[in-house]
A and B are shown apart, each in its own frame.
Chain A
Amino acid sequence: MLRGSMNALMSYLDPRVTVTPGQAGNELWALIYVFVIFAGVAVIVLCMNWIERKALAHFQIRLGPMRVGPHGLLQPIADAFKLMLKEDIVPDEADEVVFRFAPVIGLLAAFTVYIVIPFGPTQAVTDMNIGILFMLGVSSLGVLGIVTAGWASNSHYPLIGALRSSAQMVSYEVAMGMAVLSAILMTSMNAAGTGTLSMIGIVQAQQLQGIWFIFKFFPLGFIAFAIFAIAMVAETNRAPFDLPEAESELTAGFHTEYSGLRWSLFMLGEYAAMLAVSSIAVTLWLGGWMRPFPNLLQGPAWEFIFSLFPGLTFGALAAITFISAARMPSHAFFRIQRAGMAIFAALIGLLALLLLVIAVAGRANDASIAARFREGIDYVYWFMLKVAVFMYMFIWYRATWPRYRFDQLMKVGWKVMLPISLGVLILTAIVGVLLP
């Protein structure tokens, strides 16, 4: 059994492998990917919680959490403990089975999308031939979680919030689907005239056509991307489309009656859905795992420079952390926070050093272990960098824009987004046929 597992482990690291573990039937690596994605999403949600609170605070010219760890870095962990220790309240007349099951539905829908998201040409759990269809279908199952949560609470505010939220999600799903269709149409603008629905195929189509789809047929690709960007904010019930869960309007909407760990499941599902739709946007329009300027800045020198970016990014982060540790007041009360911050800076610095070593060791463009590690790390790094930009935009929107009223929201969804996305789809088809 051990030899069999070692075989399965090594078979994926073989340089001749050209498919994802799911396609190759390699269940062990597919399972490893699933675990890594699960752990990664959980860690990212924790980080997003901290970043959101600090960023919102700084947007509002205040400091945010500062006490729990150095600069509030341990605040999410304290929040997790608090939520786990809260009393588990189930409303009196509520439907118990459905009440307990509703957050799980939303969570399942958000996490299942990660099966098809590619972090590299062979780094995905699997590459379905109908990847986009699967993604659209599974994300439309998230509505059911919200509807059942609102119903099962047996109370007015959650029910109204749930109905509003699901009406909003269903409306913006249509515009989202049309925008996705425009991107899929662009994959067929090659010599053979055949497109593809698979996510890896879409990024490879961008690679072959030499242009990110956001810039293709300018401004059509950009308008399609903008529609998807707006629709994905509405899909995840984030500001400015967060009327159904706004605290000042509907007393927290569909998750009013949920407290403690159940509410944290909803929050986890919401952030996971944000990550998932950001990853979809990056894959469809922003070139997935490709580094910027793949054609303009070619050659081994530029490859080496761009492969230093992961190490340099973490090095910059380590430097910022170290400087903030040095700038802390040298009072006795801050000693432990200063020490903690310095240790954190040292850890990030070690990670940066490791990435730089891998980048330098694998700079040859051959099939050695170091080169393949470097390639894999580069793919994942560029993908996560673009997704991180999107996640920051989510927080930026929340800090900056006021909320849409519900009728304005529905009007925008049906009367503005749907006609524009239809127009973009038709124009993309026409331009694609007319241009050679």
Chain B
Amino acid sequence: MNPVLNAGAAPIATSFFFYFLAGAAILSGLLVITRRNAVHSALALIVTLLSVSGLYLMLYAPFVAGVQIIVYAGGIMVLFLFVIMLVNIERVSKERQFNRIWPVGLLASCALLAVFLAAFTKGKDLFHDRPITLPEDSNTQQVATMLYGEVVKTIQNPKGQYMIGQYTFAFEIASLLLLVAILGAVIMTKKKI
């Protein structure tokens, strides 16, 4: 066993982690759509989300991975589990779990998969993986700058000038969206409007 002192560039470890995470994601995705018990589906979805977060880390997107774990796995899935526990009635677990026209759905999805595979094989040249000279350390600072702008200090203007980021406007609209979602959820679940 050769201890690798510079593990960042070891290709064997990278592909092992990729296949492990991708396999975990697809396997738990299968479990999500086939389990009869909704709680089992939710737990499988949590495993999927964590595997996809690991794949983000492999793609050098640490901030998106962190956001995925905090928001998706830690927030949305807790919400799902709460609702499942509130509405999961005994009757549901004894009924049929797939609807009557499931072959049609499966066929349509297979057609969709065929379209994807055709697009991948025909458009292979578009997705060439040229060597990228991205800084391999964290790009979180750049993400933050694009989201809320920065203060640029020049010689002429030592106090600094605030330059708005590319996505600042979208960031503000997203916060408005969340406010609307909160209001909507509260109003819809009140007992008396």
Q: Do any CB atoms of chain A lie under 8 A from CB atoms of chain B in the complex?
A: yes
Which chain A residues have a beta carbon within 8 Å of chain B's beta carbons? 1, 4-5, 7-8, 11, 24-28, 95, 97-98, 128-130, 133-134, 136-138, 140-141, 143-144, 147-148, 151, 159, 163, 166, 170, 173, 193-194, 197
Is B22 on the interface with A (CB-CB < 8 A)? no
In the assembled complex, the Cα of A151 lies from the Cα of B38 at a distance in Å of: 12
Contact A193 B62 (CB under 8 A): no
Contact B81 A25 (CB under 8 A): no
Which chain B residues have a beta carbon within 8 Å of chain A's beta carbons? 1-8, 37, 39-40, 43, 46, 62-63, 65-67, 69-70, 73-75, 77-78, 81-82, 85, 137-138, 140-141, 151
Most-contacted residue by chain B among A25, A26, A143, A193 (CB, 10 A):
A25
* Closest-CB distance, A164 to chain B (whole angstroms): 11
In the assembled complex, the Cα of A134 lies from the Cα of B74 at a distance in Å of: 12
Most-contacted residue by chain A among B1, B3, B67, B82 (CB, 10 A):
B3
* Closest-CB distance, A235 to chain B (whole angstroms): 12
Contact A140 B75 (CB under 8 A): yes
In the assembled complex, the Cα of A133 lies from the Cα of B61 at a distance in Å of: 13
Residues of chain B lying within 8 A (CB to CB) of residue A148: 39, 43, 81
In the assembled complex, the Cα of A353 lies from the Cα of B40 at a distance in Å of: 55
Q: Other CB < 8 Å A-B pairs besides A8-B3, A95-B37, A141-B69, 8 of them?
A: A25-B4, A25-B8, A129-B140, A133-B66, A137-B70, A143-B74, A143-B78, A148-B81
Residues of chain B lying within 8 A (CB to CB) of residue A151: 39, 81, 85
In the assembled complex, the Cα of A25 lies from the Cα of B4 at a distance in Å of: 7
Residues of chain A lying within 8 A (CB to CB) of residue B4: 25, 27
Known: A26-B5, A140-B74. A130 touches B63 (CB 8 A): yes
Contact B73 A137 (CB under 8 A): yes
In the assembled complex, the Cα of A102 lies from the Cα of B163 at a distance in Å of: 48
> Which partner residue on chain A sits nearest B86 by CB separation?
A163
* Closest-CB distance, B136 to chain A (whole angstroms): 11
* Closest-CB distance, B156 to chain A (whole angstroms): 18
Contact B81 A133 (CB under 8 A): no
* Closest-CB distance, B4 to chain A (whole angstroms): 6
Contact B3 A5 (CB under 8 A): yes
Contact A129 B78 (CB under 8 A): no
> Which partner residue on chain A sits nearest B63 by CB separation?
A130
Residues of chain B lying within 8 A (CB to CB) of residue A193: 151
Most-contacted residue by chain B among A8, A97, A140, A159 (CB, 10 A):
A140
Contact B140 A130 (CB under 8 A): yes
Contact A137 B74 (CB under 8 A): yes
Contact A129 B62 (CB under 8 A): yes
> Which partner residue on chain A sits nearest B1 by CB separation?
A1
Contact A137 B81 (CB under 8 A): no
Contact A147 B78 (CB under 8 A): yes
Known: A133-B66, A137-B66, A148-B81. A4 touches B1 (CB 8 A): yes
Contact A25 B7 (CB under 8 A): yes
Residues of chain B lying within 8 A (CB to CB) of residue A4: 1-3
Pick from A8, A137, A170: contact of B69, CB below 8 A: A137
Residues of chain A lying within 8 A (CB to CB) of residue B73: 137, 140-141, 144
Contact B141 A134 (CB under 8 A): no
* Closest-CB distance, A115 to chain B (whole angstroms): 13
In the assembled complex, the Cα of A40 lies from the Cα of B182 at a distance in Å of: 43
* Closest-CB distance, B72 to chain A (whole angstroms): 10
Residues of chain B lying within 8 A (CB to CB) of residue A28: 3
Pick from B40, B75, B82: contact of A98, CB below 8 A: B40
Can you identify 24 A-B contacts, CB atoms within 8 angstroms? A1-B2, A4-B3, A5-B3, A25-B6, A25-B8, A26-B5, A27-B3, A27-B7, A95-B37, A95-B39, A98-B39, A129-B137, A130-B140, A133-B66, A134-B69, A136-B66, A137-B69, A140-B70, A140-B73, A140-B74, A141-B69, A144-B81, A151-B85, A166-B82
Residues of chain A lying within 8 A (CB to CB) of residue B5: 7-8, 11, 24-26
Contact A197 B140 (CB under 8 A): yes
